[in-house]
Amino acid sequence: MGRIQSFISQTWPPWSKFSIDQIPDLSGKVVIITGGNTGVGYETAKALLPRNARVYIACCNAKKASDAIDKLCEDTGKDSIFLPLDLASFKSIRVAADEFLRKEKELPILFNNVQVHLLCGVIEPNIDELTEEGYDLAISVNVVVSQNTTGTKARIVNMASFAAKMNVKPDYDPCKDGPIRWRLGTVSMYYQSKFAGLLYSTEFSHRYFEAGIVCTCINPGNLVTELQRNLKLGVKRFIIYRILYPAPYSALTQLYAGTSPEGADFNGKYLVPWAHMWTSTPESQDKQAGSQLWAWLEDQVKDT
């Protein structure tokens, strides 16, 4: 399907046959939600807690995490747990993983929910924002951190978007700060990060299938969240009233992938709004490109 058709079908999607009422009991299941303090992550946690999941809210801001945990308790009557995690720092990711492993023996469900966002040419963060290790922040958050956060058996749900179709030829030279990165600019870097995230999910699903790990990639949809907080008012009104949906819609697709019984068969699949299977781009199935991305990622994190 072409880009225009894909954009239309994913911007004005058919209604979901899956609802949060269909989430099974998750007693004994441990869940990490990166960015669980707001937006898609918050709505995901809000749906999981009443099903008796043990939910970790992984984010970098302790105050925002505390506020979210208090609100979740008000909304659900259930407690969740703060896991300090700064996805702009490989060191922080390792520390968070160590802390989690001191508390838990396994991780059945991981929602790699945090993403850097582009909306109609307006991107945040800016081109001059880098990780502690000097990587472009979009590349780091959308791709490289996935190589740090996964380990034991789990059902893993990674985040992509329609933008994965916009740049299907990964180039690793601009991923660290330098003239090439500045010449490409934020839009191209964002597109590349989203495609690389989709390619990574496909490669991961191939490598860990025999270990029983189910890796799914999803497009959560066009949503009203804090990601649009820096948009100009006129742009915000135009977009929100025409193509964006309330945040509660956002959790449906990843909850379907992460909790439904049929989700156990979604390894390597790509889901779009609202909880529908979709044919991924042929480029994201390229085994050579996937192997090259994996080798590059392993090289980036080997000394962290």
Query: Tens digit of pLDDT for each residue in 214-273?
Result: 899 998 887 765 555 555 555 555 555 567 777 778 799 999 999 999 999 999 999 998
Instruction: Please report whether residue 59 resides in a domain.
Output: yes
Summarize pLDDT for 182-216 with one digit per residue, the tens: 455 566 666 777 788 888 889 889 988 887 888 99
pTM: 0.79
Residue 84's pLDDT band, with cuts at 50, 70 and 90, is: very high
pLDDT-based confidence at 66, cuts 50/70/90? very high
In a domain, 304, yes or no: no
- Residue 228 falls within a domain, yes or no? yes
In a domain, 24, yes or no: yes
The number of folded domains in the chain is: 1
Q: Is the pLDDT of residue 181 over 60?
A: no
Does pLDDT of 145 surpass 90?
A: no
Lowest mean pLDDT among 63-72, 263-272, 287-296: 287-296
CATH code: domain of residue 52: 3.40.50.720
Domain coverage including residue 103: 3-298
Domain annotation covers residue 231: yes
**What pLDDT was estimated at residue 157?**
92
Average pLDDT over residues 275-295: 85
Could you tell me the pLDDT band of residue 105, with boundaries at 50, 70 and 90?
A: confident
CA separation for the pair 52, 224 (Å, rounded): 27
Say if residue 290's pLDDT is above 60.
Answer: yes
pLDDT at 225: 57
Rounded mean pLDDT, 113-141: 42
Catalytic residues: 190, 194
Q: What percent of the chain has pLDDT over 90?
A: 30
Within a domain: 82: yes
Flag whether 270 is in a domain.
Answer: yes
**Confidence at 25, pLDDT banded by 50, 70, 90:** very high
Residue 303 lies in a domain: no
Nearest to 156 by CA among 191, 190, 200, 193: 200
